[in-house]
C-alpha cells in the first residue's frame, strides 16, 4: 500500500512508525518529514501547507491513502482539494477544520449550542477586549489568539496588568501574527485538564484512551505554555463511568450540534476538557491528533490504522470493532535550548541508536546531515515507552531519555507524576 503522510513533527513520525508496524510492506512518503520519517520511507521536498505541490504529487503518484497530521493544511483546505480530485484522504474538510482554525468561531459555536464551556467572548479590536477584561475583574483570565499559533497562543493572565499587556501583545503588536487579528477572553476554570481524542465519522464515535498532556515548560506546571512537554495514557482517573459521562454530556451533544450546523466532521476530534466541580467543560477543539498525545495513543491501539481510517472515511465506524490493549504509555518531550522562544538548531544529537524494548524515540524537530542527526525545531524528540502499568512505562521512558544528549536539551522530570483527578 502506498501512503502519503503530510507533516514533519513527532506525531507524523509516530504515524509512520505505526503504518509500517501494521504492514511492513507499506510504501511510505512523508511531506516534508524529518530525520525519523526519512529512516522509514521517503521524505518529499514539499511543505505541509503547499497544497498545490501536494496535490500535484498525489495526482501523479496515486497514493492509496493520504493522512494529514497537522492542523495548518486541514485549515487550508487540503482535504477539500484532494476529495475534489477523487484522491482518498483522511481528515476533516475546511469547514470542519475551522473549529481549530478560529477560537472566536469555536467560542461562539459552543455558546450558541449551549455546550458546557467557560464564560467568555470573542473580540475583533483591542479596545473592546480591554473593556471586557476590565468589566470582568475576576482573575486569572484566559486570553487566546484566534488563529493557529503552534500551541503558544493561550496565555493565563494572573491580574489586570498582565491581561492588558497580553491583549496589547496579541492584538496591537501581533506577536502571533495574523492569529492575533481576533481573540477570545474567558473565565479561568480550575480543575484537571484532559485530552479526549474522539474518532468519528460524523455519525458514530469512539473515545480513545483519555490522555493527560503537560503544557507548561517547567516542572510543577510552571513557565510558559508550549505545544506540549509530555503526556501519558490512559489517565488512571478515567474510569468507565467518567468516559460514559464524557460521551453523554460532551461528545454526543457536540456531534448533534455539528449536524445542526451542517458540519460534516470525519476524522479525529480532539476535545480539550477540564474537569471542574460542576463536571466537564470544553476548553478547545483540535481537528487532528494531538502532539505529543498521538505518540502515546498509537501503542495502545490494536486495530490497524488503515482499517480504522477507511471506516471513518466511508462512514462505517459503527460497524467496526476498535480494539485497544491494556497497556499504559508515557512520552517525554526533549526540547531544544531557547524553546518555546527561538530554538537552537543544527545541534548534534547523540544516543539515538540505542535499542531498548517497548520504547521508541519519535523525531519532531530534527534533520539529517550526512550520518549526523541535528536539531531542527523546538520540540526535538518524543521519547515514548509502553508497559503493563503506568509506573513501569514512566520509568522506561526516563531510562531511554537519559541516554540521549544534545547541547541545550531541556525536558520535564515530572511527566505522569500526578495521577489523581482533583
Query: What's residue 419's pLDDT?
Result: 60
Query: What's residue 151's pLDDT?
Result: 72
Within 8 A by CB and 6+ apart from 267, the residues are 90, 91, 92, 96, 199, 200, 287, 288, 312
Question: Any bridge partners for residue 122, and if so which?
Answer: 184
Query: What's residue 422's pLDDT?
Result: 43
Contact 196, 119 (CB under 8 A): no
Contact 232, 390 (CB under 8 A): yes
Considering only CA atoms, which of 130, 133, 136, 7 is closest in space to residue 67?
A: 7
Query: What's residue 421's pLDDT?
Result: 43
pTM greater than the 0.85 cutoff: yes
Query: What's residue 149's pLDDT?
Result: 83
Query: What's residue 251's pLDDT?
Result: 97
Q: Which helix (H) or strand (E) holds 174?
A: none
Q: Is 354 exposed, middle or buried (0-12, 13-18, 19+ CB in 10 A)?
A: exposed
Which residue numbers in the chain have pLDDT < 70?
A: 419-422
Amino acid at each position: 500500500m502506498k501512503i502519503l503522510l503530510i507533516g514533519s513533527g513527532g506525531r507524523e513520525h509516530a504515524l509512520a512508525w505505526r503504518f509500517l508496524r501494521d504492514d511492513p510492506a507499506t510504501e511510505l512518503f512523508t511531506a516534508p518529514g524529518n530525520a525519523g520519517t526519512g529512516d522509514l520511507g521517503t521524505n518529499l521536498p514539499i511543505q505541509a501547507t503547499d497544497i498545490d505541490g501536494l496535490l500535484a504529487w498525489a495526482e501523479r503518484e496515486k497514493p492509496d491513502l493520504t493522512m494529514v497530521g497537522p492542523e495548518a493544511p486541514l485549515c487550508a483546505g487540503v482535504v477539500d482539494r484532494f476529495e475534489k480530485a477523487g484522491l482518498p484522504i483522511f481528515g476533516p474538510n475546511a469547514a470542519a477544520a475551522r473549529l481549530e482554525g478560529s477560537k472566536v468561531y469555536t467560542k461562539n459555536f459552543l455558546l450558541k449550542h449551549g455546550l458546557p464551556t467557560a464564560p467568555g467572548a470573542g473580540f475583533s479590536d483591542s479596545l473592546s477586549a480591554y473593556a471586557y477584561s476590565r468589566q470582568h475583574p475576576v482573575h486569572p483570565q484566559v486570553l487566546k489568539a484566534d488563529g493557529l499559533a503552534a500551541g503558544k497562543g493561550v496565555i493565563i493572565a494572573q491580574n489586570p496588568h498582565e491581561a492588558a499587556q497580553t491583549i496589547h501583545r496579541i492584538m496591537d503588536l501581533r506577536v502571533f501574527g495574523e492569529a492575533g487579528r481576533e481573540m477570545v477572553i474567558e473565565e479561568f476554570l480550575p480543575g484537571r485538564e484532559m485530552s479526549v481524542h474522539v474518532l468519528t465519522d460524523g455519525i458514530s464515535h469512539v473515545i480513545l484512551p483519555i490522555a493527560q498532556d503537560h503544557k507548561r515548560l517547567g516542572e510543577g506546571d510552571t513557565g510558559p505554555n508550549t505545544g506540549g512537554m509530555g503526556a501519558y495514557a490512559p489517565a488512571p482517573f478515567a474510569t468507565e463511568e467518567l468516559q460514559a459521562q464524557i460521551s453523554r454530556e460532551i461528545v454526543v451533544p457536540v456531534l448533534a450540534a455539528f449536524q445542526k450546523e451542517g458540519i460534516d466532521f470525519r476524522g479525529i476530534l480532539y476535545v480539550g476538557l477540564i474537569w471542574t466541580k460542576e463536571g466537564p467543560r470544553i476548553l478547545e477543539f483540535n481537528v487532528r491528533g494531538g502532539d505529543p498525545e498521538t505518540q502515546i495513543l498509537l501503542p495502545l491501539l490494536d486495530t490497524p490504522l488503515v482499517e480504522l481510517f477507511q471506516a471513518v472515511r466511508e462512514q462505517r465506524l459503527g460497524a467496526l470493532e476498535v480494539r485497544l490493549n491494556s497497556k499504559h504509555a508515557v512520552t517525554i518531550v526533549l526540547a531544544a535550548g531557547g524553546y518555546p522562544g527561538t530554538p537552537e538548531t543544527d545541534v548534534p544529537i547523540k544516543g539515538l541508536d540505542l535499542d531498548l524494548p517497548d520504547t521508541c524515540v519519535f523525531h519532531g524537530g530534527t534533520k539529517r546531515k550526512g550520518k549526523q542527526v541535528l536539531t531542527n525545531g523546538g520540540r526535538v524528540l518524543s521519547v515514548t515507552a509502553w508497559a503493563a502499568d503506568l509506573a513501569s512505562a514512566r520509568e522506561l521512558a526516563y531510562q531511554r531519555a537519559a541516554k540521549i544528549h544534545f547541547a541545550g536539551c531541556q525536558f520535564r522530570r515530572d511527566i505522569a507524576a500526578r495521577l489523581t483527578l482533583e
